[in-house]
Amino acid sequence: MAVGQRYRKSDGTGLVFEVVELMNGSNLPHARIVQVNNRTEYRVIALSALTDRQHYEVAVEAALPAATAAPLRLMHAAGD
């Protein structure tokens, strides 16, 4: 579990959330997550719930944090 990891709701909605902060509330590990398509939608959830496949699954194709996802820039070789 790390900041930037993305999880998809297992309820068929297709909603993807990104971990933006890890915290230890009441001595229980929690994560603050934000909906990727609506960054104003935050939730605080126990890590045990976030890693429970009945609720969320790792979004493998969307696992990179948004800050590292950059457009591909093609470079021309010298002499082209």
pLDDT in tens, 14-28: 899 999 999 986 788
Q: What is the mean pLDDT of residues 49-66?
A: 78
Q: How many angstroms separate the CA atoms of 25 and 46, rounded?
A: 9
pTM: 0.70
Residue 1: its pLDDT value, please?
A: 82
pLDDT exceeds 80 at position 35: yes
> Is 70 exceeded by the pLDDT of residue 57?
yes
Hey, where are the domains in the chain?
6-62
Residue 62 confidence (pLDDT):
46
